Amino acid sequence: MDAHKPLLFVGDNKQGELQQIANDMRTCGWTVQHASDWDQAGLYLDKQPCEVGLAHLNPKHLPAKTELDELVDGKQTEWIALVDTPALGNCNVQQLIHSLFFAYHTIPGDAARLDSVLDHARAMARLSFSECGQNEQADNEYEMVGSTAIMRQLFADIRKIAAVDAPVLITGESGTGKELTARAIHERSKRAQGPFNAVNCAAIPANLVQSELFGHEKGAFTGANQRKAGHFEATAGGTIFLDEIGDLPLDLQVNLLRFLERHCIQRVGSSQEIPVDVRVLAATHVDLETAVAEKRFREDLYHRLNVLTIKTPPLRERQEDIEVLANFFFHKFRCEKSSRLTGISEQALTIMHQYDWPGNVRELINRMRRAMVMCDSRLIRPADLGLERRKSKRVVVTLEQARDKVEKNTIHTALMRNQNNVSRAAQELGISRVTLYRLLEKHHIPHAGKH
């Protein structure tokens, strides 16, 4: 038997029956700490965690569920309710017990039975709150989380795409998991044992991209003191992930196209073609179709890359995943350091659902990290996430506004494609020149003049 079994007892200790129960539990070896109400219990738990709580539920003075949520929902303490038998017929009491308590015990009842229920609750508290179970999840650095239909579809697409060896174009807003998707494809592919190399095309200075990607020969340019293999050769047998492919300079796009067609590279300073076995996954958050229309991206390369595509959906389009992800990262970060935090409050979850998450999963991770450092209560609150003053930022778009936007973009692209020639753009759009001029005025699109 444990020498020290702390028990937090909430109730009016002047009431004879309750006093008796507290004494009985002392006799059974429990160190009983008394709190006259839930506020006091909360203060006590803030200072001193306790695995088991025993609380008297008086139907005449029932606390609001939200009031108890903070204490009970946190789950570091398992709670047992003490109730008079008639109170068990009260709907509110039933609901409270059902949603927040581990078990209930009728007053006065049998002390030995209560002792064993408390022992059981304590054992369960230890199991539920031990960190080891949660660590198993957190160990997998690249685990992809999501339970919505749109994410399940994404996982299914990843599995299918992993089974073939063709290039893939991954699109999606910033922070939605494009790189994670690329890793997932690699890890499920036959190249899983080979290297995965993520290269951010936007981060390499334009004059170095070619030698960084394809390598160079000794003396190929000033400073090239020895032969160097580029990222492609270094990734042989594996998968290269070309991030921000939209930023690849036009002249290098030809080299990439050549690689995709012939699986060969040429080092800078050499005309020798070297075969390299690498799978190319590419990602972009810019609209490549527009980039093609604006001649910033080669059309042939676009078509070559656009055979297999995956789009990572923004968080606001998968509302139910917000809570799933928040809990996932909560447990992951809680394992990193000891913390008396026990969960996320209802208010914080509500506000997370209303928020638009422009930075998607990455933003959610950062806000959770911040909250877990800043939080000085047991449950994360809106202010800890830095979301307290925000109202829903979701802009309601009417059908007319949506049509207007598409109309404006389509006209803009047609004009770009036709070097601002209004007649040709009008012809391409299937409208008269007069109509196009009217639309140009409507959308305040500048144009070169009449053609």
Q: Which of 146, 167, 238, 246 binds ligand ATP (CB under 6 A)?
A: 146
Strand pairing class (196-200; 239-243): parallel
Looking at residues 169 to 198 of the shown chain, list those that interact with ligand ATP (rule: CB under 6 A).
172, 174-180
The values of phi and psi at residue 187, to 5°, are -65, -25
Is 362 a binding residue for ligand ATP by CB under 6 A? The answer is: yes
Task: Give whichever of 24 and 179 is closer to Mg ion, judged by the CB atom.
Answer: 179
Is 245 a binding residue for ligand ATP by CB under 6 A? The answer is: no
Looking at residues 175 to 204 of the shown chain, list those that interact with Mg ion (rule: CB under 5 A).
178-179
Residue 8 interacting partner from Mg ion, ligand ATP, none (CB closer than 5 to 8 Å by kind) = none
Span interacting with ligand ATP, options 53-61, 140-148, 227-235, 403-411, rule CB under 6 A? 140-148
In angstroms, give the least distance from the CB of 180 to ligand ATP. Answer: 4
DSSP per residue, 197-227: EEEEGGGS-GGGHHHHHH-B-TTSSTT--S-
Task: Give whichever of 57 and 170 is closer to ligand ATP, judged by the CB atom.
Answer: 170
CA atoms within 13 A on the CB side of 36: 2
Residue 349 Cα to chain centre, angstroms: 14
In angstroms, give the least distance from the CB of 405 to ligand ATP. Answer: 22
Q: Which of 365, 371, 429, 436 binds ligand ATP (CB under 6 A)?
A: 365
In angstroms, what CA-CA distances link 368 with 46, 138, 332, 352?
21, 15, 10, 11
Q: Which of 88, 145, 234, 260 binds ligand ATP (CB under 6 A)?
A: 145
Task: Give whichever of 198 and 416 is closer to ligand ATP, judged by the CB atom.
Answer: 198
Residue 345 interacting partner from Mg ion, ligand ATP, none (CB closer than 5 to 8 Å by kind) = none
Provide the token pair at 221.
Answer: 């340019």
- With beta carbons less than 8 A apart as the criterion, state whether 247 and 199 touch: no
Residue 175 interacting partner from Mg ion, ligand ATP, none (CB closer than 5 to 8 Å by kind) = ligand ATP
Burial letters 152-186, b for 16+ CB under 10 A, else e? eebeebbeebbeeeebbbbbbbebbbbbbbbbbbb
Residue 177 interacting partner from ligand ATP, Mg ion, none (CB closer than 5 to 8 Å by kind) = ligand ATP
Looking at residues 141 to 180 of the shown chain, list those that interact with Mg ion (rule: CB under 5 A).
178-179
Looking at residues 295 to 354 of the shown chain, list those that interact with ligand ATP (rule: CB under 6 A).
312
Task: Give whichever of 142 and 221 is closer to ligand ATP, judged by the CB atom.
Answer: 142
Task: Give whichever of 311 and 417 is closer to Mg ion, judged by the CB atom.
Answer: 311
Is 361 a binding residue for ligand ATP by CB under 6 A? The answer is: yes
Cross-strand partners of 265: 274
What distance in Å separates the CA atoms of residue 275 and residue 288, rounded to the nearest whole number? 28
Across the beta sheet with 78-84, the strand order is 30-35, 5-10, 52-56, 78-84, 103-107
In angstroms, give the least distance from the CB of 178 to ligand ATP. Answer: 3
CB-count exposure of residue 98 (10 Å: 0-12, 13-18, 19+): exposed
End-to-end CA distance of the chain: 95
Cis preceding-peptide flag for 205 (omega within 30 of 0): no
Comparing every residue's Cβ against Mg ion, the nearest one is 179
Residue 77 interacting partner from Mg ion, ligand ATP, none (CB closer than 5 to 8 Å by kind) = none
Provide the token pair at 78.
Answer: 């398992």
CB-count exposure of residue 376 (10 Å: 0-12, 13-18, 19+): exposed
Residue 189 interacting partner from ligand ATP, Mg ion, none (CB closer than 5 to 8 Å by kind) = none
In angstroms, give the least distance from the CB of 357 to ligand ATP. Answer: 11
Report CA torsion sign: 262, 268, 270, 275: negative
In angstroms, give the least distance from the CB of 270 to ligand ATP. Answer: 33
Task: Give whichever of 42 and 177 is closer to Mg ion, judged by the CB atom.
Answer: 177
Angle at 62 between CA 61 and CA 66, to 5 degrees: 140
Looking at residues 309 to 338 of the shown chain, list those that interact with Mg ion (rule: CB under 5 A).
none
Q: What is the DSSP letter of 54?
A: E
In angstroms, give the least distance from the CB of 172 to ligand ATP. Answer: 5
- With beta carbons less than 8 A apart as the criterion, state whether 49 and 76 touch: yes
Residues that bind ligand ATP (CB under 6 A): 144-146, 172, 174-180, 285, 312, 361-362, 365
Residues that bind Mg ion (CB under 5 A): 178-179
